[in-house]
Structure 1
Amino acid sequence: MARVLRTPEDRFEALPDYPFAPNYIDIDDPDLGPIRQHYLDEGPQDGPLVLLMHGEPSWSYLYRSMIPPLVEAGFRVIAPDLIGFGKSDKPARKSDYSYARHVEWMLSFLEQLDLDNITLFCQDWGGLIGLRLVAAEPDRFARLVISNTGLPEGAPMSKQFMRWRRMSRYSPVFPIGRILNRASTRELSEGEMAAYDAPFPSRKYKAGARIFPSLVPIARNYPGAKDNREAWKILRTFDRPVLTLFGDQDPVTAGWDEIVRNRIPGAKGQAHRTIEGGHHFIQEDAGPELAEAIIGFAKGSETQTQAREAAQ
């Protein structure tokens, strides 16, 4: 079997509500060689930048209802597929994936595209990776919108998460579309669930999706725990605007919004919101609402920044 797999393009034909043009770059991995990463790049190239980062086991399809209103508001929207997901290449062995490697792959993505002045929206593993990016390259980020995610340092996780971790490792079946449906409040259509299944023609493509939950540091000596503790030292000094938008139906990340608000200085005084009816995959339950919140937050905080600079 090939070391790196590529999902055939015909798997992505006629996906519902996903008319976006594909874009690709090669991520140079010292062990695996060039890995092709897919991303969406919509809206005016000179518009203010919004980076939408997905998690496990979804892909950029998750943002299909958020991209159009953001573009209409004048934003440039970039939504990458993490390596192992969506239209990006998929290393075939579970041992090819690590937390640190995902961070390095995404740092390479930021550097190759030379992204700056970023408004980051992150959910699930989009936050575990995205917040590490912020800690590594804080000057690239203008503001953060954090939803249903966190940055664990090695403390025990919830019972719900541990059940999910066991299921991902040991269940004989791993139906991606059905998983997305179960962790959304609204009922996804058969076409939408099929779109989430599309990147994975067979079980051999699911190594990344299977191993991702096991990469979460659930004890202080787990890989990634020390790096996250170091990242928090930087995040505790991040004073650019930070907004939390957490769903009230997500049992996995409940309480992380309060941690973010208490720890990151830029979260002080922001109009944080709890999204009613928002389950873990909150983009499926409240995509347009999230987009409008991002638009208002980005424009409002930009105005505040300009006023402060003018007063100095």
Structure 2
Amino acid sequence: MSLETTAMRDPALGERRSVVLPGGRIAYTDSGSGRPVVFVHGLLVNANLWRKVVPLVVDAGFRCLTPDWPLGAHSIAMSPQADLTPPGIAHLILEFLEELDLDDVTIVANDTGGALTQILMANHPERIGRVVLTPCDAFEEFFPAPYDRFPTLMRWPGAIWMASRLLPLPVVYSRASVFGCLTKQPIPADVMDSYLGPIRDDGQIRRDAKRFIVEVDSKYTLAAATMLPEFDKPVLLVRAADDRVFAPQLFERLAATLPNAELVTVADSCAFVPEDQPNDLARLIVEFAG
């Protein structure tokens, strides 16, 4: 049975669609009209990360597109030939923008998606109008501790299968070393199942996840950082006051690297600002993109 037909996506995200790209088919939700805002989530989450933010941004007069990027919680497996390295997925984002003919786009990114967006900014800035980076990987922190062991662990035979059995268990994913440190309050069970069900239930999704994870390396974010001083479009850096994963100095360094960046801090939030403080994040997006 295809996961595409059973994948839970919050109705608030809008109409469920898909688009065929060279590396495979990407599912996404589409809501609203006006200037486009494209969201980029991180590892082992999907469009549901933005379920509390999208309706507020749509109500302010924007079109919100929330793809499921092939990072392990997606509903449609990619082609075995697809480039799932970090630069490959950054190029996939560009292909998504090109296929839907989206221009002057506001990119909003979180977690691993922020690293992919920095690679996109460095190498393919042409369709980007502005960028909002919430807590995310950068510089030598790709992945940050305690997740920096993942690329090595996932090279072990059977490791991705074992992870797919353990991670969906609440006693495991609620640990501080997994999802527990990312939010103030527990993520609802149905949302967690949408995140971790695909790698549990579909071997091709596990294959995609492993192909990406083993390729994660700070050489990509460090290379992007050398080119970010040339990215002169507006960037809003949204730091979380209670972030336990991404060091506050990362965003200070990004602010010093990017020529047109503004740094703000959201109170009472961990790294998943879309989960902890969706109203504040939506307001910042609307003010910045408006």
Instruction: Report the alpha carbon displacement of residue 93 of structure 1 after superposing the two structures with TM.
Output: 6.9
Larger radius of gyration: 1
Identity across the alignment (%):
25
Report the equivalent of 2:289: 298
Report the equivalent of 1:217: 217
Report the equivalent of 1:305: none
Structure 1 window deviating more from structure 2 (285-294 vs 185-194): it is: 185-194
1:69/1:279 CA distance change after superposition, 3 Å: same
- Indicate if the aligned counterparts of 1:56 and 1:212 stay in contact, CA closer than 8 A: no
1:21/1:236 CA distance change after superposition, 3 Å: same
Q: State the SS of the aligned residue for 2:260.
A: helix
Aligned-residue Cα RMSD (Å) equals 3.0
- Indicate if the aligned counterparts of 2:37 and 2:107 stay in contact, CA closer than 8 A: yes
5 Å matches for 1:166-181? 170=159, 172-174=162-164, 175-176=167-168, 178=173, 179-181=178-180
Residue among 30, 38, 61 paired with 1:41: 30
Residue among 68, 82, 98 paired with 1:111: 98
Residue among 22, 25, 30 paired with 1:28: 22
2:18 matched to 1:9? no
- Indicate if the aligned counterparts of 1:97 and 1:211 stay in contact, CA closer than 8 A: yes
Q: State the SS of the aligned residue for 1:52.
A: strand
Instruction: Report the alpha carbon displacement of residue 244 of structure 1 after superposing the two structures with TM.
Output: 0.9
| Amino acid across the alignment from 1:26 | V
Instruction: Report the alpha carbon displacement of residue 210 of structure 1 after superposing the two structures with TM.
Output: 4.2
Report the equivalent of 1:62: 49
- Indicate if the aligned counterparts of 2:50 and 2:274 stay in contact, CA closer than 8 A: yes
- Indicate if the aligned counterparts of 1:244 and 1:273 stay in contact, CA closer than 8 A: yes
| Structure 2 CA distance for aligned equivalents of residues 201 and 10 of structure 1 | 14
5 Å matches for 1:117-136? 117-136=104-123
- Indicate if the aligned counterparts of 1:134 and 1:140 stay in contact, CA closer than 8 A: no
- Indicate if the aligned counterparts of 2:32 and 2:58 stay in contact, CA closer than 8 A: yes
| Structure 1 CA distance for aligned equivalents of residues 252 and 240 of structure 2 | 13
| Structure 1 CA distance for aligned equivalents of residues 288 and 201 of structure 2 | 41
Q: How many residues are matched?
A: 275
2:262 matched to 1:258? no
Instruction: Report the alpha carbon displacement of residue 21 of structure 1 after superposing the two structures with TM.
Output: 1.4
Structure 1 window deviating more from structure 2 (54-63 vs 92-101): it is: 92-101
Q: State the SS of the aligned residue for 2:99.
A: helix
2:225 matched to 1:232? yes
| Structure 2 CA distance for aligned equivalents of residues 214 and 113 of structure 1 | 30
- Indicate if the aligned counterparts of 2:42 and 2:113 stay in contact, CA closer than 8 A: yes
| Structure 2 CA distance for aligned equivalents of residues 116 and 242 of structure 1 | 16
1:183-211: per-residue Cα shift (whole Å, max 9, x none)? 22111222232232343452623233345
1:102/1:158 CA distance change after superposition, 3 Å: closer
What is the TM-score when the length of structure 2 is the normalising length?
Answer: 0.82
Instruction: Report the alpha carbon displacement of residue 213 of structure 1 after superposing the two structures with TM.
Output: 4.0
Q: State the SS of the aligned residue for 1:138.
A: coil
1:82-103: per-residue Cα shift (whole Å, max 9, x none)? 1254454224879963223212
Q: State the SS of the aligned residue for 2:39.
A: strand
What is the TM-score when the length of structure 1 is the normalising length?
Answer: 0.76
Q: State the SS of the aligned residue for 1:148.
A: strand
5 Å matches for 1:146-295? 146-152=133-139, 158-163=144-149, 170=159, 172-174=162-164, 175-176=167-168, 178=173, 179-202=178-201, 204=203, 205-218=205-218, 225=219, 228-254=221-247, 255-267=249-261, 270=262, 272-295=263-286
- Indicate if the aligned counterparts of 1:94 and 1:208 stay in contact, CA closer than 8 A: no
Instruction: Report the alpha carbon displacement of residue 128 of structure 1 after superposing the two structures with TM.
Output: 1.6
- Indicate if the aligned counterparts of 2:44 and 2:73 stay in contact, CA closer than 8 A: no
1:85/1:38 CA distance change after superposition, 3 Å: farther
| Amino acid across the alignment from 2:265 | T
| Amino acid across the alignment from 1:262 | A
Report the equivalent of 1:303: none
